[in-house]
Structure 1
Amino acid sequence: MSNEQRGRSIAGIAASIQTGALDPRDLIDETLDAIDRYPDQAIFICLTPERARAEAQASSCRIRDGRSLGLLDGVPFGWKDLFDVTGVTTTAGSVVLSGQPPASADADVVKALSAAGMVSVGKTNMSEFAFSGLGLNPHFGTPRNPASGNDDRITGGSSSGSAAAVAAGLVPAAMGTDTGGSIRIPAAFNGIVGYKATRGRYSMKGVFPLAASLDALGPLCRTVQDAVWIDAAMRNLTAPLISRRSLVGQRFVIADTVFFDGAETGVVEAFEAAVERLARAGAVIRRQAFPVISDIFALMAERGPLVTAEAFALHKERLSGPDAARMDPRVVARARLGERISLPDYLHIVERRQAMQTEFAALLAPGELVLTPTLPHVAPLIEPLRQDDDLFFATNGKTLRNTLIGNFLDWCGVSLPCGFGDAGMPVGLMLSGLANSDDDLLATALSAEAVVRGER
């Protein structure tokens, strides 16, 4: 891929395609070649060149004949390997599933983006069964954070390959899933945009689950505008219905409880600088403690994590059979903890979760969005995490801490790059909204993005 094309947003690529300056067939050839030549071969699990070239050919013909499907037509896209793509086995990042039959149909959201003209280039790597926020994978390799200097750092997980593919400029956007932060974590670590929609905003048909009561979908991309276009297409809309919202008078609350505990100085400084820029742009910002957030972690300590209970139920047979020996031992160890969570415990968690969601919602002003650091630290080094189980689990827990709050409370959220912290690595700022406030969230993020990035 030429330097001119690499790293461009969907908007930038679409402008070239729609005017005829760039043929989708040439773009997909350049994309596949760039992926093949890229030094890190752990980003993609597999490519789908035949499908990609056929879709690019169809796009080229449509645009030449004046029948473009819209601004996504001809744009390359990557799929986390939880999404069914016709003719390809969905492995969920595990060799345990590599012998399963290929998918007989596309997942619903794959169909939706294909119908909008996007070109599927292949399946991106991930944490095995999506059960880690760090992105290490002993089967298919661990993608390296493109923002790393001389030291290899993690991309974050579980949507590790999707984030790396976008951050490296190999594709302008890729799909992720988010059960405890798996879109927003790698977005923050890699300095890109990650949008986690409200759970249920899109069809989950054809998507391999982790925990159905927490699983959500969304894209990793270079700009909020790209996320808005993808969101519309995933809902089978021909154009977005979301308009940019002024920051003047927009209300934000900084949640002081838990989010800043043990945060690196560089993260806090980058976040606070972005907050100051938002205030200068006219936003109304207050700070508040939310004891209900602490209650989430007290409930987890008392009864167990909801995600662990549901992951154990999903993988129970696998964990008690010969497949367990072929899985990542760390995934096995974490999933087996779910066996300790009884049915009364699980039902109590579900009941308390609903009450906590209601309690938190009552503390927000109308239209108010939550403003926090996406993560308390920048991307750590890969090798120490490979070598030390205790360090791995401690780091995984801290990495998931800020983002899992939004999954438990059923928020939608978007992580925006807001500066750099330790070792010059990217820092993310997270905007979150109550369930089904996605349109308001994205409308605000459209205006907040440049301010948060420090571009104006």
Structure 2
Amino acid sequence: MLFLAVTFLFIFLSLLFFLTSRRPVCTGKRAGEARAPVEQLLDPSNNPKMIKYEVKDLSSLELVGYPLRILSLKSLSLLGSFVIRNVKKKSNLDLMNGEYIPEPPTLFPPVPPPVPPPLRDKAIEQSNAKLLEDIAGRYASTNGRISSLDYWVAYKSGSVEPVDVARAVLESVRVSNSRSPPLRAIVETDNVLTMKLAQESTKRWREGKPLSLLDGVPFAVKAQIKFESYSLTGGGTFKPTCSLGLKEAKVVRRLVEAGAIMAGLTNMQEFGTGALGSNPHKEYLTARNPYSDECYCGGSSSGSAAAVASGLCPITIGGDAGGSIRTPSSFCGITGLKTTFGSLDLTGFLPQTASVGVIGPMCSTSVDAAIAMNVMEPGRFDLSGLADIKDLSGLRIGVYNEYFDHADPQVVSLCRKALDALASLGAEVKDIVIPELEELRVAHMITTATEFFTSYTVDIDKRVEEMNSETITLFSVGKSVSAKEYINAQKQRTRSISIVKSLFEEVDLIATPATGSVAPAIPPGAEKYGYGNTELTGKIMRYASLANFTGIPGISIPVGLTSGEGRGGGLPVGFLLQSEWNHEGLLLRVGSALEELIPMEKPPIYYNIIEKAKE
């Protein structure tokens, strides 16, 4: 009895000592270290070759279907927190946990000043419009797909009218969602509104008074953007709390006021929380890639990419907080523009990633994107460079070779050919080094996961069982982030912005592949409960974080299809160009040049709306 009492006392005192002992404040891989100021890192006297490339492939954790569902639901429990902690460690997400970073935190990227209507640069707006009309006058499609200018040409010739186009779009959406497997690019339509807009456009064209190059052109919008009576569930089954009080999207209203025809809402990964475009909800289902319906479209703007690639409409609006415009654009072989942070009005956009999220156009061509940008934010973007895409002399393109080559071989090969194509027009390709890419990746992930989690805390407590597995897993990561990690991540943003500013003193553009792989196949079982693969996600998002975390713009341009038979062959590869803040015009100029040099084949799943409208 005495022995048991002594044993119990020993255990009690040991536990008490453990619980009351001072624990290390600094943990993680760099616990107790102090980073040198960024000015020292960027000192010109330093040898850039001494900077190590530290971005590594993530250790693989792959779960499909029901096992993923069980793990995700338990990840928010006390036991699950230990699992998430281990996942963070294996993914290097504990990097911000123990190091001292001397810079002050930067909570938002540089934001361009607003352009109120009375002060908009009318000269730029009118110059852009005149230039785009000149381009339309000599337009010839180079990618086999219908662009907005094909509609303009057809309406001008009288061969087809907007009402016929609207009917053809609505019927093609129905057919695309009735095939097996269903395409699920556009998941919600308002036929009454679409036909009303089409009739108004038809009247204007008959009178010879079109409002703009977009008059009568069909477009669609990602399901996280509010407009008219359309649902606002963000890819989920309920209206999230963060949508309360949201006003109508100004950019969508401006497109409609320019005569464009709203064709519907596009599919997306639930709340924008993944890179694949997976969505098992029966109201949505996972959008299928028009180049191979066995493959993902990429996330989270999956349906926006599929709608353009399949010909349903030449312009869609997507959102991008971690590659969500550029990744699906790359996977589906279209052009996608991630805009400068704050350059397009975010009214009506679900406010879930306040410091990294933007909206932007996803289009058949760069000219389509330019036309849309000049309507969505008139007078902000100088598009004059589109007048000359044959000579790129003086353009400096920076390539960090180790970073560029850290992708699948066929991806690298096609992107290297794109570089050669630009060099053939006179562009200079320069070697550069981008320091602290791994630190930036981790800081971006910590920030994004935290912002997602804090936007949905009320919904997590009330409706977590209704959420997809991938969504819950990301929220679990966000829940695990400490104040120390979050502040260190924002300090890293300060450093990363300084690094980017320094780079753009040397070059005009930074070039990489858009993604580290082509579109992956949808594994068996994923349709019901989803798919999680940390290694694959890391590869897909490898080149996305720089633009989101620092706020610079980037454009994904299709540069060819992979070779070979089976699932890995015939899939698009995207080439990513990133510029200094507010230089979208340069990106669109170079994108347009590349599209002429490297024509793309249209996919096997394709709907020729203009021809159908003539029937």
Q: Secondary structure at the match of 2:512?
A: strand
Q: TM-score with structure 1 length normalisation?
A: 0.91
Separation in 1, partners of 2:294, 2:330 = 16
Q: 1:14 aligns with which of 143, 152, 156?
A: 152
* 1:417 alignment partner, SS class: strand
8 Å contact from structure 1 (residues 158, 183) kept in 2: yes
C-alpha distance in structure 2 between counterparts of 1:101 and 1:254, whole Å: 40
Q: CA 1:373–1:385 in 2, change beyond 3 Å: closer, same or farther?
A: farther
3-state SS of paired residue (2:290)? coil
The answer to whether the 8 Å contact 1:214/1:408 transfers is yes
Q: Which stretch shifts more, 426-435 or 361-370?
A: 361-370
> What is the alpha-carbon distance in structure 1 between the residues aligned to residue 490 and residue 534 of structure 2?
25
> Does residue 403 of the first structure (1) align with residue 544 of the second (2)?
yes
1:55 aligns to 2:200 (yes or no): no
Q: Is 1:164 matched up with 2:306? A: yes
2:484 alignment counterpart: 344
CA contact (8 A) 1:48 1:122 kept: yes
Q: Structure 1: how far apart are the matches of 2:383 and 2:499?
A: 30
Q: Secondary structure at the match of 2:205?
A: helix
Equivalent position of 1:3 in the other structure: none
Which of 198, 207, 214 is the matching residue for 1:65? 207
1:214 lines up with 2:360 in the alignment? no
Which residue in 1 is equivalent to 2:83? none
Q: Which residue of 1 aligns with 2:554?
A: 413
Answering whether residue 346 of structure 2 is matched by residue 201 of structure 1, we say no
- Tell me the CA shift for residue 385 of structure 1: 7.8
User: Does 1:34 pair with 2:172?
Assistant: yes
Partner Cα separation in structure 2 for residue 162 and residue 312 of structure 1: 24
- Tell whether the 8 Å contact from 2:469 to 2:530 is kept in structure 1 after alignment: no
Give me the whole-angstrom Cα distance separating, in 2, the residues matched to 1:231 and 1:17: 22
Map of 2:571 onto structure 1? 425
Report the CA distance shift for 1:218/1:101 in structure 2 as closer, same or farther (over 3 A): closer
Query: What does the per-residue CA deviation read over 1:181-236, in whole Å, with 9 as the maximum and x for residues that have no partner?
Result: 01110111011111111111111011113311001111111100000000000014
User: CA contact under 8 A between 1:376 and 1:399: conserved in structure 2?
Assistant: yes
Which deviations, in whole Å up to 9, do the C-alpha atoms of 1:279-333 show, x marking residues without a partner?
1221100122212323313556xxx6210011111111222x2310100022111
Identity percentage of aligned residues: 30
Partner residue of 2:466?
A: 326
SS of 2:317 mapped into structure 1: strand
Local SS of the residue matching 1:405:
helix
Are residues 1:256 and 2:394 paired? no
1:14, distance to aligned residue in structure 2 (A): 1.2
Query: Aligned letter for 1:16?
Result: A
Query: Within the alignment, does 1:116 sit opposite 2:116 as a pair?
Result: no
Distance in 2 of aligned mates of 1:209 and 1:104: 9
1:89, 1:98 within 8 Å by CA — same for their partners in 2? no
Q: Any conservation in 2 of the 1:410–1:434 contact (CA below 8 Å)?
A: no
Q: Does 1:226 align with 2:368?
A: yes
Aligned-partner SS, 1:90: coil
Question: Taking CA–CA contacts closer than 8 Å with sequence separation of 6 or more, which of the two structures ends up with the larger relative contact order?
Answer: 2
Are residue 24 (structure 1) and residue 169 (structure 2) matched?
A: no
Alpha-carbon contact 1:259-1:376 (below 8 Å) kept: no
Superposition map of 1:359-370 within 5 A: 359-365=499-505, 368-370=508-510
Structure 1 residue runs of 5 or longer lacking an equivalent are: 1-5
Change (3 A) 1:404 1:238: closer
The residue matched to 2:399 in structure 1 has which SS? strand
| Residues in 1 aligned to 2:599 and 2:399: alpha-carbon distance in whole angstroms | 18
Residue number in structure 2 paired with 1:266? 410
User: Which residue identity is paired with 1:342?
Assistant: S
State the shift of 1:240 in Å: 7.2
Give 1:368 deviation, angstroms: 1.1
For residues 142-171 of structure 1, the C-alpha deviation after alignment (integer angstroms, 9 at most, x for no partner) is: 1110101xx600000100011111111111
Shift in CA distance, 237/297, structure 1 to aligned 2, threshold 3 Å: closer
Q: Select the residue among 301, 308, 319 that pairs with 2:449.
A: 308
Q: CA, structure 1 residues 48+17, in 2 after alignment: closer, same or farther (shift >3 Å)?
A: same
Question: Which of these residues, 440, 443, 446, is aligned with residue 592 of structure 2?
Answer: 446
Which piece of structure 1 moves more, 386-395 or 412-421?
386-395
Distance 2:167 2:229 in 1: 21
Structure 2 unaligned blocks of 5 or more: 1-143, 563-567, 602-615
Name the amino acid aligned to 1:23: E
SS in 2 for 1:211: coil
8 A contact 1:143–1:155 mirrored in 2: yes
Which residue does 1:373 correspond to in 2?
A: 513
Change (3 A) 1:18 1:105: farther
- Residue 288 of structure 1: aligned partner: 432
Structure with bigger gyration radius: 2
Counterpart amino acid of 1:234? M
Query: Root-mean-square deviation (CA), in Å?
Result: 2.5
- Contact kept, 8 Å, 1:257 with 1:291, in 2: the verdict is no
**What one-letter code is carried by the residue in structure 2 that aligns with 1:349?**
A
For 1:56 and 1:27, the matched residues in 2 are separated by 8
Is 1:43 the counterpart of 2:185? The answer is yes
Tell me which amino acid in the other structure corresponds to 1:184. Answer: R
The secondary structure found in structure 2 opposite 1:414 is strand
| Distance across 2 between alignment mates of 1:277 and 1:41 | 34
Secondary structure of the 2:224 match is coil
- Pair 1:79–1:344, CA change in 2 (3 A): same
Farther-moved stretch of structure 1 (104-113 vs 164-173): 104-113
